[in-house]
Every structure is written in structure tokens, then in C-alpha cells.
């Protein structure tokens, strides 16, 4: 009797897992098709742009620049943030820069990525006496709390966050939740390269049987860029939801 009941239970579970697996694969396939179709539109870029701009506008003269942590140094995110932070610094004489980048315990400050970013800022004209390092924060919430420990006055003074576009909306919300009253943002959008990237495939030789793509900017670049934007933005929307559930925004 027991063996028969166990066998029936296994049959039920097998059917259940088969149904769940089938629906999961179907849902994943539909999502993938949606992402492909959506990548042929301008929607992904405007979603990316919205994350960078919708919560970052400011109309005050900044006194402090907070460069939020990203990948290590050198990396695309670190170099872009250093560039944008230095540009804000040049336009606002007297402001200081807080470089947030976690460092391994026991590692010398002079070997940390934050220190390397500070050296990069110096090569861009930033006064070394205006740079402060925050080496603890491992996420945006902790960065806000740790920067406030370094200088509690920041919460009441004009501050600018420098971070990647997709991260900006969440970063502003996190700092406001942490008590920063006057906060704005400089999203580090990539600058466009040459605008004319068209070419004639026949001029370059090779197999003539394949269709030419020299005049198809959409297929060569925009589709792939927009597909990547979707992955970046969906991950960030998930992070915003998680931070909201945690009560950090």
C-alpha cells in the first residue's frame, strides 16, 4: 500500500514539474522574442535615458561631488565617472570630491582602487586636498551612510552624485532616504563616436554571395546596443524593486 501511494505521489510530482518547466520555457521564449522585437525600436534607449535623467535634475551650485563606486580601476565605469566628476569640479570652483570605492581589509590605501581613481582625478586638474576617500561602502545604501559619517554636514549642503545612467535614479532615491536634502546627479552617458559609419561592401572585397550590411547601421550597431540596454535596465528595475522592499528608497 505504501509503495503504491509513493508511486502515485511521484507521478503527480513528475506531472507538476513537467507543467512548470514547460510554462517556464514558454515564458522565457516569449520574453526573448519580446526583447528582440523591442531592440529594433528606440524604446530601450529611452528607458535607459529615463533612468539617468528622471530623478537627477538640479538647479543649485554644488558644494560636494560624490563619485559612486563601480568596477575597479581601470575600467570603463571608473574612467567615465572620473571624467564627469572632474568636469563638474572645473565648473564649480571650491567644491570637493568624495570617491566611494570599497577596498579589501588590510590593503594599503595607496593600493586601493579609490586611491587610483583619485590619482586619475588629479591628472584631470582636481586639487588633491579636495579629494576624500570612502573605502567601506559595498552598495549604494552603505555608501550614503559612510559618506555621511565622513562629513555629516553633507546632508544639509548641495551634493552631486556621479554614477552610471542606469544607476542614477536609484542612487538619488537612496541618498534622499538617508537624509541628504539637496541632492542632484550627473549621469555618465557615453559620448557618440563618428556619425557616418556607412560603407560599401563591394569596395572591401570578399564573398559576393552574402548580402551587404555596410548601409545597415540598425543591424550592425543599434540592435545590439538596444539589446544590451534592456539587460542593463531590467537588472536595474529589479534592484530598484529590491531596495524599495528593503526600505532603502
**Domains of the chain, start order:** 51-187 (3.40.50.620)
With a CB cutoff of 8 Å and minimum separation 6, the contacts of 187 are 52, 53, 56, 163, 164, 165, 168
pTM of the prediction?
0.84
Count of CA atoms in the C-beta half-sphere (13 A) of 110: 0
With a CB cutoff of 8 Å and minimum separation 6, the contacts of 90 are 125
Q: Return the pLDDT at 167.
A: 96
Q: Return the pLDDT at 70.
A: 84
Q: Return the pLDDT at 6.
A: 47
Grid cell for residue 31: 520574453
Average pLDDT per 10 consecutive residues for the chain, totaling 249 residues: 52 63 82 88 93 92 94 90 95 93 88 95 95 95 96 95 96 96 94 66 66 59 88 96 96
Residue 108: exposure state from Cβ atoms within 10 A (0-12, 13-18, ≥19): exposed
Q: Return the pLDDT at 66.
A: 97
Q: How far is CA 37 from CA 1, 88, 211, 224, in A?
A: 54, 38, 22, 12
Q: Return the pLDDT at 47.
A: 95
Grid cell for residue 105: 581589509
Q: Return the pLDDT at 72.
A: 85
Amino acid at each position: 500500500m505504501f509503495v503504491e501511494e509513493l508511486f502515485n505521489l511521484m507521478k503527480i510530482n513528475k506531472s507538476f514539474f513537467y507543467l512548470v518547466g514547460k510554462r517556464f520555457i514558454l515564458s522565457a521564449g516569449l520574453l526573448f522574442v519580446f526583447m528582440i522585437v523591442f531592440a529594433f525600436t528606440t524604446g530601450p534607449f529611452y528607458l535607459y535615458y529615463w533612468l539617468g535623467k528622471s530623478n537627477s535634475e538640479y538647479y543649485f551650485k554644488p558644494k560636494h561631488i560624490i563619485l559612486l563606486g563601480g568596477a575597479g580601476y581601470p575600467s570603463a565605469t571608473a574612467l567615465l565617472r572620473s571624467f564627469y566628476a572632474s568636469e563638474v569640479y572645473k565648473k564649480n570652483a571650491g567644491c570637493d570630491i568624495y570617491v566611494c570605492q570599497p577596498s579589501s581589509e588590510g590593503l594599503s590605501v595607496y593600493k586601493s582602487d579609490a586611491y587610483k581613481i583619485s590619482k586619475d582625478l588629479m591628472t584631470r586638474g582636481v586639487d588633491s586636498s579636495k579629494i576624500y576617500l570612502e573605502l567601506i561602502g559595498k552598495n549604494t545604501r552603505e555608501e550614503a551612510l559612510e559618506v555621511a559619517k565622513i562629513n555629516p554636514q553633507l546632508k544639509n549642503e548641495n551634493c552631486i552624485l556621479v554614477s552610471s545612467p542606469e544607476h542614477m535614479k536609484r542612487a538619488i532615491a537612496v541618498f534622499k532616504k538617508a537624509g541628504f536634502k539637496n541632492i542632484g546627479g550627473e549621469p555618465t552617458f557615453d559620448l557618440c563616436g563618428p556619425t557616418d559609419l556607412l560603407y560599401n561592401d563591394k569596395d572591401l572585397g570578399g564573398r559576393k554571395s552574402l548580402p551587404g550590411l555596410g548601409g545597415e547601421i540598425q543591424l550592425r550597431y543599434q540592435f545590439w546596443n538596444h539589446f544590451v540596454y534592456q539587460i542593463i535596465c531590467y537588472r536595474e528595475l529589479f534592484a530598484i524593486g529590491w531596495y524599495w522592499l528593503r526600505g532603502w528608497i
